[in-house]
Structure 1
Amino acid sequence: MNILITGGTGLIGSALIPFLNNHHKITVLTRNQNKVYIKIGSHIKAISQLSEIDFNQLDIIINLAGEAIVDKRWDQKQKQKIEHSRWHLTQQIVDEITKAKNPPHTFISGSAIGFYGRQNEHPIDETFNNCTHEFSHTLCKKWESIALGACSEHTRVCILRTGIVLSSQGGALCKMLPAYKYALGGPIANGEQMMSWIHIDDMLGLIIYLIEETNLQGIFNATAPNPVSNEEFSRLLAGSLKRPHFLRVPAKVLTLLLGEMAELLIYGQNVQPKNIIAAGYRFHYPQLKEAFTHLLRQHS
């Protein structure tokens, strides 16, 4: 099958492409074609504009692109950049799908559990609609709404509300490791906020499952079925590295350093992947301790 991937050099995309490339023809939309060839390989076709590809020849689109959420402080300019990078590209893709006479049969588009906004410790799944109206919610709500515009009798749309993706090759875990290795890691604020995570292998497995199970469509929480509190996450991470975790980062300090963006760390969600489990997907790493054991085997 012919597959177009946006965000192909990101954490998920760069890990996904090697699994798909053995059986499918992959095209990556990118702002830096050389980066694609260096990071992934010259066997991948890289394009810089959607106009370079015929949507009538595509079978699947996997839309993972977007300005990083946590790299910079959220001033108004950065918020607009985050929004534009998701909304504008997704709208362009939807427009091309709806114009095609023979459109792709599958459109898998990213979102995040930030859709739910800050929540308490009670479990929530894809049916939950009492969302907290803050930046992460409005960002994801419009992003999803745009993507669902591609849904038709010819094209199914799958939305992935992704949690914290754990990988030894980048992302949140690798940013945490230096502090924990030097015994400077610990819980954030009171540590009671829930962290909904997913092992990179399950993230890839879930996407591949959605590709293969052609009857599936709609919203899917891309999180492991056993979220943990921030306190438990910290304890298990420190234990996997054989380090203490007695330091605690006060909420006021985070807010002072990060501004509004600190809310992503201070508050959480207890998210359950009800829809993908009901569809038959079985997680390889449902428990955080086993996920850390696998990911950190070279660090302990």
Structure 2
Amino acid sequence: MKYHKIVLAGGNGYLGTVLAKYYKNFADEIILLSRKPAPANANIKTLVWDGETEGEWMDALNGADMLINLCGKNVNCRYTEKNKREIIRSRVVPTALLGRVINKLAAPPKLWINLASATIYRHAEDHAQDETTGEIGYGFSIDVCNQWEQSFFDTDTPKTRKVCLRHGIALGRSDSVFPRLLNLVRFGLGGKQGDGEQYIAWIHEHYTARITEFLMEHTDLDGVINAAAPEAAKNKDLMRIIRKAYGMPIGLPAPQWLLEIGMWVIGSETELVLKSRWVAPKRLLDAGFVFQFPKAAHAVHDILSLRM
């Protein structure tokens, strides 16, 4: 399908780059809303915005086929009070702003996808959490998700279909979790983290883009959609898969006490590694979406087959 215009708010990051590359040959125009200017690249151009105030960038939303909001401070940091405020504000404020702007437009985007997080569900080792029966968790990360989603659904956009995409951990070639895990494997440190029983709701980066295209084509889908592979992988199994695919026979484990020290040293939180995220993409599967890489081993082999 050929699209006229796709807008990626906060599109200069990892997933924005993935999406822009995917749609480059399918759209007349791709517009990135970014805090920093960048030169145009063929049909991809950048407009500067601050994510807080209205401006000339608003005109870019008129007539767009799809708006994807990717804004949000990286959660890979210590949860100090300052960082907590920035994490929440960097998500809630741009989302509310986009909603107000869309409401004013004569020709607003047909579809608005807000990239949210699958971490909203509780720590789950007993069964998968889907959009209907999944249970919401508790703690700071879940508070962030709740405020983020509320700011999205509270906006009044009667002419724009809205999808909240609860996204799993993206696995890809660059600037994602995968290269970091691969580096651990390379140095013989690619064993399980903690007890290794925690599930990882993962998704191949290519399927983030494919899902957004699927949502454009299936106009009956709106509301909350889980974006994760149908088969979550336990931490110990994912690390074993990466070791085997890379050809590394050993991988030293990181028990929780050591992990806590390491995460403190690098300025991050153990929750990001130890929480069990077992998420099922029920609505996508029910709608007929097909995952080419349903198993983690398939995705890992595909990523490693490409030049890192």
TM-score for the superposition, normalised by structure 2: 0.89
Structure having the larger proportion of residues in helix: 1
Is 1:266 the counterpart of 2:271 in the alignment?
A: no
Q: 1:101 aligns with which of 95, 101, 106?
A: 106
Is 1:32 the counterpart of 2:36 in the alignment?
A: yes
Following TM superposition, by how much is the alpha carbon of 1:2 offset from its aligned partner in structure 2, in angstroms? Answer: 2.2
Amino acid aligned to 2:45? K
Q: 2:261 aligns with which of 256, 270, 276?
A: 256
Amino acid aligned to 2:20? I
Following TM superposition, by how much is the alpha carbon of 1:43 offset from its aligned partner in structure 2, in angstroms? Answer: 3.5
- The answer for the alignment partner of 2:16 in structure 1 is 13
Task: Work out whether residues 116 and 165 of structure 2, in 8 Å CA contact, stay in contact via their aligned partners in 1.
Answer: yes
Alignment of 1:169-180 (within 5 A): 169-180=174-185
Amino acid aligned to 2:30? I
Following TM superposition, by how much is the alpha carbon of 1:64 offset from its aligned partner in structure 2, in angstroms? Answer: 1.0
Deviation sequence 1:151-197 (CA, Å, 0-9, x none): 54411101111111000122000111112012221101111111111
Is 1:192 the counterpart of 2:197 in the alignment?
A: yes
Amino acid aligned to 1:198? I
Following TM superposition, by how much is the alpha carbon of 1:130 offset from its aligned partner in structure 2, in angstroms? Answer: 2.8
Is 1:211 the counterpart of 2:216 in the alignment?
A: yes
Amino acid aligned to 1:287? K
Deviation sequence 1:73-111 (CA, Å, 0-9, x none): 221111111111111111110111122233222110010
Q: 2:135 aligns with which of 124, 130, 152?
A: 130
Task: Work out whether residues 200 and 232 of structure 2, in 8 Å CA contact, stay in contact via their aligned partners in 1.
Answer: yes
Q: 1:91 aligns with which of 82, 90, 96?
A: 96
Task: Work out whether residues 195 and 270 of structure 1, in 8 Å CA contact, stay in contact via their aligned partners in 2.
Answer: yes
Following TM superposition, by how much is the alpha carbon of 1:144 offset from its aligned partner in structure 2, in angstroms? Answer: 1.1
Alignment of 1:38-187 (within 5 A): 41=41, 43-49=43-49, 50-52=54-56, 53-54=58-59, 55-70=61-76, 72-150=77-155, 152-187=157-192
**In angstroms, what is the RMSD of aligned CA positions?**
2.0
Q: 1:283 aligns with which of 291, 298, 306?
A: 291
Following TM superposition, by how much is the alpha carbon of 1:297 offset from its aligned partner in structure 2, in angstroms? Answer: 2.0
TM-score for the superposition, normalised by structure 1: 0.92
In the alignment, the residues of structure 1 paired with residue 262 and residue 13 of structure 2 have an alpha-carbon distance, to the nearest angstrom, of 26
Deviation sequence 1:54-78 (CA, Å, 0-9, x none): 24333321101211111x2221111
How many residues matched? 295
In the alignment, the residues of structure 2 paired with residue 8 and residue 299 of structure 1 have an alpha-carbon distance, to the nearest angstrom, of 24
In the alignment, the residues of structure 1 paired with residue 80 and residue 211 of structure 2 have an alpha-carbon distance, to the nearest angstrom, of 34
Q: Unmatched 5+ residue regions in structure 2? A: none
Following TM superposition, by how much is the alpha carbon of 1:225 offset from its aligned partner in structure 2, in angstroms? Answer: 0.2
Amino acid aligned to 2:34? T
Following TM superposition, by how much is the alpha carbon of 1:30 offset from its aligned partner in structure 2, in angstroms? Answer: 0.4
In the alignment, the residues of structure 2 paired with residue 102 and residue 293 of structure 1 have an alpha-carbon distance, to the nearest angstrom, of 43
In the alignment, the residues of structure 1 paired with residue 250 and residue 283 of structure 2 have an alpha-carbon distance, to the nearest angstrom, of 35
Task: Work out whether residues 115 and 141 of structure 1, in 8 Å CA contact, stay in contact via their aligned partners in 2.
Answer: yes
Task: Work out whether residues 198 and 222 of structure 1, in 8 Å CA contact, stay in contact via their aligned partners in 2.
Answer: yes
Amino acid aligned to 1:76? E
Deviation sequence 1:229-260 (CA, Å, 0-9, x none): 11111111110111134411111222234368
Identity of aligned residues (%): 29
In the alignment, the residues of structure 1 paired with residue 213 and residue 172 of structure 2 have an alpha-carbon distance, to the nearest angstrom, of 18
Following TM superposition, by how much is the alpha carbon of 1:299 offset from its aligned partner in structure 2, in angstroms? Answer: 7.2
Greater mean alpha carbon deviation, residues 251-260 or residues 238-247: 251-260
In the alignment, the residues of structure 2 paired with residue 262 and residue 230 of structure 1 have an alpha-carbon distance, to the nearest angstrom, of 14
Residue 124 of structure 1 aligns to a residue in which SS? Answer: coil
Q: Unmatched 5+ residue regions in structure 1? A: none
Residue 123 of structure 1 aligns to a residue in which SS? Answer: coil
Task: Work out whether residues 72 and 90 of structure 2, in 8 Å CA contact, stay in contact via their aligned partners in 1.
Answer: yes
Task: Work out whether residues 129 and 135 of structure 2, in 8 Å CA contact, stay in contact via their aligned partners in 1.
Answer: no
Task: Work out whether residues 119 and 132 of structure 1, in 8 Å CA contact, stay in contact via their aligned partners in 2.
Answer: no
- The answer for the alignment partner of 1:235 in structure 2 is 240
Is 1:23 the counterpart of 2:26 in the alignment?
A: yes
In the alignment, the residues of structure 1 paired with residue 279 and residue 90 of structure 2 have an alpha-carbon distance, to the nearest angstrom, of 25
